[in-house]
Amino acid sequence: MSYRFALLKDPGADILRIVTEQLDVAITQLEQRRTSQSKRIHEARKAIKKTRSALRLIRRAIPTEAYDAAITTLRDVARSLAPLRDADVMQQTAAALTNKPKPATAKPSRTPLPPFAAPLHQLKASISTTWPWQDIDPVIIAKGFAQTIRAFQKAFQATTNTNDPELFHTWRKRAKDLRYQSLILEPLWPALFQAIAETAQKTEELLGEDHDLAVLTQHQPQHTAQATERQQQLRRKVRKLGQRLSAEDPKAWKRRIIAWFHL
């Protein structure tokens, strides 16, 4: 099934389905060897992030210790995979910045990655059997989305008058949460949530390029001048998107989502 609500009268069942499906995707990518390692890592990390965003939508219904443990597990697995991703991304970023072809690489590795999948197996079993899915209702969902909007606004505001790459990277993560949660909520008002998801995705893409340039200059400082110029262009463009997505008050979002669930 898709990454969106199907049973609006039982949001807990829908979120459980979404989360377990994404964990299955991540586990499959980490354990199979049919495609290249870089492709599997990309797909696994994407599924992990989609899982994390879905869980953030229901955080108020989950005991703090259990929720924090789940988020930590997902974060640690994603971070463990990051160095394997970064080397290839740096090559692509440097090639794009200098208008040179990407250097030839060795034959793609098809080695499986089972050690990274083990914690995800354990997490899936735990959340499926011990979390209070029956307690998740439209109010929980509405509060979760309002909190995501608030976190996005805060992260956006933190980038004002600064060049700190970590603050821009944090803003990117909050844009990702906003995009994925908007996809989940799309059936409530398809045109509206599709527009939010598309704008959040564009924000995320611009900030993603900004982050790749920051990583590149950290490891290859000879590219700093070109990278800084490109980052300034990206940041001017992305601020307009941030302003658009921050225009609505989180409390208003909460009220609307609760009402839309009951239409």
pLDDT tens per residue, range 228-260: 999 999 999 999 999 999 999 999 999 999 999
* pLDDT of 103: 57
Domain borders along the chain are: 1-136, 137-263
Mean pLDDT across 31-42 = 88
* pLDDT of 32: 87
Spatial contact of 179 and 49, defined as CB atoms under 8 Å apart: no
How many helices (H) and strands (E) are present in the chain, helices listed first? Answer: 9, 0
Chain-centroid distance of CA 81 in Å reads 15
**Per-state percent for the chain, helix, strand, coil, to nearest 5:** 80, 0, 20
pLDDT tens per residue, range 182-195: 999 999 999 999 99
pLDDT tens per residue, range 39-66: 899 999 999 999 999 999 999 999 999 9
Phi, psi dihedral angles at 246 (to 5 degrees): -100, 5
* pLDDT of 252: 97
Q: How far apart are CA 3 and CA 151, in angstroms?
A: 22
CB atoms within 10 A of CB 182: 25
* pLDDT of 9: 86
Spatial contact of 94 and 18, defined as CB atoms under 8 Å apart: no
